[in-house]
Amino acid sequence: MADVRLEKVSKTYEKHTVFHDLDLTAYDGECFTLLGPSGCGKTVIMRLIAGFEQPSSGSIFIGDTLVSSLEAGVHLPPESRRIGVVFQDYAVWPHKTVFDNVIYPLRIQKIPKDEAVRRTNAAIESVNLHGLENRLPYQLSGGQQQRVALARALVSNPGIMLLDEPLCNLDANLREEMRFEIKELQRTTGVTILYVTHDQEIALALSDRIAIMDDGGRIRQVGTPYEIFENPSDSYVYLFMGVSNFIPVRAENNQVYIEGTDQPLDDPPEDTMPAGRRFVAACRPTDVELTRNGAPVSGIVVRRNFLGPIIDYRVTIGGSEVRVQQGTREALERNLIFDEGEPCGVRFLALQWYDSDSSEERVQA
Ligand SMILES: Nc1ncnc2c1ncn2[C@@H]1O[C@H](COP(=O)(O)OP(=O)(O)OP(=O)(O)O)[C@@H](O)[C@H]1O
Ligand SMILES: [Mg+2]
């Protein structure tokens, strides 16, 4: 098993630089996820690690072995890297049975027949396809085909698995089921998994650590799912991780006021703000409460949508509109259902402070 390490890796196609001086380490045995918008370079990173392409500059290591470096003239071919790969389109061979699909890499490696059969059966077992060995792909569901691709990647006992959106073609239930199976594979085999997705929910559920990329191919933050969700390093990451309110604020007299009002917010950042400084307070709709007494901040309900278990409000405070989500049952019990046009109080339970420009670091909190 092995770490995967990228040091100052750049990739340029003709004039288009996908990323520049990228540093990244996935530790031995962890599930490390690249999460970022379409086109940010996730698949390119996977192709470089697999060895299907060479970086334009920089080095890639697997364990202590330098596997790619144009400068050093090193390029280990894919078959020498002990990497299993499942790419976005998970192509399984349509004319081969499940068994023949999975055993294929071992035939190429000329593994003795007995051993190859034994390992193939074990791989099929590990993805719960036992009993379907003789089916052809068209006789399988999308999720089962996906598992054939996983078994085929696993059969060579790779130290590293590269999984590029392997669940993107599945319905929600199957996606959840496969998520558990991938986690289980990681646990039972100890394989290092590099996982690519643009789905935050999958990333949070599956990963030991996540790297958030932006569309310029930069890594904005690396951390555990909890760190990324609870402590986003900038407003880009904050926004990427869920529905967000960004409320423009200004600093004055060691207080932080909502723009367009003289209403201060509780618990301003500890650092004294230079007077007149403008930035944003960020919060999730579920981290805001409405109150009856107009305190601590007063606003007006402009929209109310009943969504079953929650009520979704839009509330204006000064010139800002804030989205608020309240549990329906609790709101009913506490007489906290508001009509459109009604004044209300607003309490912010978890504010984070960021510079207005999402390319900058967070304000010290
Ligand atoms: N062979 C290539 N030649 C030129 N440009 C390429 C090549 N491969 C990828 N690119 C460009 O590199 C950028 C990153 O592509 P990549 O496939 O890594 O995106 P991604 O993050 O995987 O997106 P998605 O989530 O849509 O799969 C894109 O702008 C793409 O057009
Ligand atoms: Mg991709």
**pLDDT of 330-355, one tens digit each?**
999 999 999 999 999 999 998 998 88
Pocket test for ligand 1, best of 44, 45, 194, 218 (most atoms within 8 A of CB): 44
Point out the ligand nearest to the CA of residue 214. Answer: 1
How much is the average pLDDT of 226-235?
92
Residue 1: band (very low, low, confident or very high) from pLDDT cuts 50, 70, 90: low
How much is the average pLDDT of 60-71?
95
342 CA → ligand 2 middle, Å? 47
Choose the final residue of a domain: 211, 238, 265: 238
Domain region containing 270: 240-355
220 Cβ below 6 A of ligand 1: no
41 Cβ below 6 A of ligand 1: yes
39 Cβ below 6 A of ligand 1: yes
Q: 88-92, 98-102, 222-226, 287-291: which has the minimum mean pLDDT? A: 88-92
Q: State whether 234 and 252 are in the same domain.
A: no
Cis ω on the peptide bond leading into residue 343 (within 30° of 0)? no
User: Is residue 277's pLDDT more than 90?
Assistant: no
User: Is residue 361's pLDDT more than 70?
Assistant: no
Q: Quick one: which atom of ligand 1 is closest to the CA of 14?
A: 4
User: Is residue 294's pLDDT more than 70?
Assistant: yes
358 CA → ligand 2 middle, Å? 24
User: Is residue 270's pLDDT more than 90?
Assistant: no
Q: What single-letter amino acid sits at 351?
A: L
pTM of the model as a whole = 0.85
Point out the ligand nearest to the CA of residue 216. Answer: 1
196 CA → ligand 1 middle, Å? 13
Spell out a b/e string for 323-361, using b for 16 or more CB atoms within 10 Å of the CB, else e: bbbbeeeebeeeebbbeeeeebbbebeebbbbbeebeee
pLDDT score at 90: 63
237 Cβ below 6 A of ligand 1: no
Q: State whether 223 and 275 are in the same domain.
A: no
| 362 within domain boundaries | no
Residue 120: band (very low, low, confident or very high) from pLDDT cuts 50, 70, 90: very high
Choose the final residue of a domain: 198, 222, 238: 238
Q: State whether 206 and 263 are in the same domain.
A: no
- Look at ligand 1, atom 6, and give the residue with the nearest C-alpha: 13
pLDDT score at 184: 86
| 365 within domain boundaries | no
Residue ranges of the alpha helices (H) in the chain? Answer: 42-50, 98-108, 113-126, 142-154, 172-189, 200-206, 225-230, 235-240, 328-333
48 CA → ligand 1 middle, Å? 12
> What is the spatial distance between Cα 21 and Cα 6, in angstroms, rounded to a whole number?
9
Which has more pLDDT, 303 or 358?
Answer: 303
Residue 357: band (very low, low, confident or very high) from pLDDT cuts 50, 70, 90: low
Q: State whether 195 and 264 are in the same domain.
A: no
User: Is residue 188's pLDDT more than 90?
Assistant: no
pLDDT score at 10: 97
Q: State whether 40 and 158 are in the same domain.
A: yes
pLDDT score at 358: 58
Question: How many domains does the chain fold into?
Answer: 2
| Residue 310, both tokens | 């929650």
Q: Hey, is 316 helix, strand or coil?
A: strand
Q: 50-54, 193-197, 198-202, 335-339: which has the minimum mean pLDDT? A: 198-202
pLDDT score at 364: 45
Q: Quick one: which atom of ligand 1 is closest to the CA of 217?
A: 14
DSSP assignment of 42-80, as one string?
HHHHHHHHHTSS--SEEEEEETTEEEEETTTTEE--GGG
160 CA → ligand 1 middle, Å? 22
CA distances from 101 to 31, 43, 52 (A): 25, 23, 21
Q: State whether 333 and 266 are in the same domain.
A: yes
The residue behind tokens 């555990």 is: 224
| 113 within domain boundaries | yes
pLDDT score at 142: 80
Q: State whether 87 and 200 are in the same domain.
A: yes
Question: How, if at all, do strands 297-306 and 352-355 pair?
Answer: unpaired
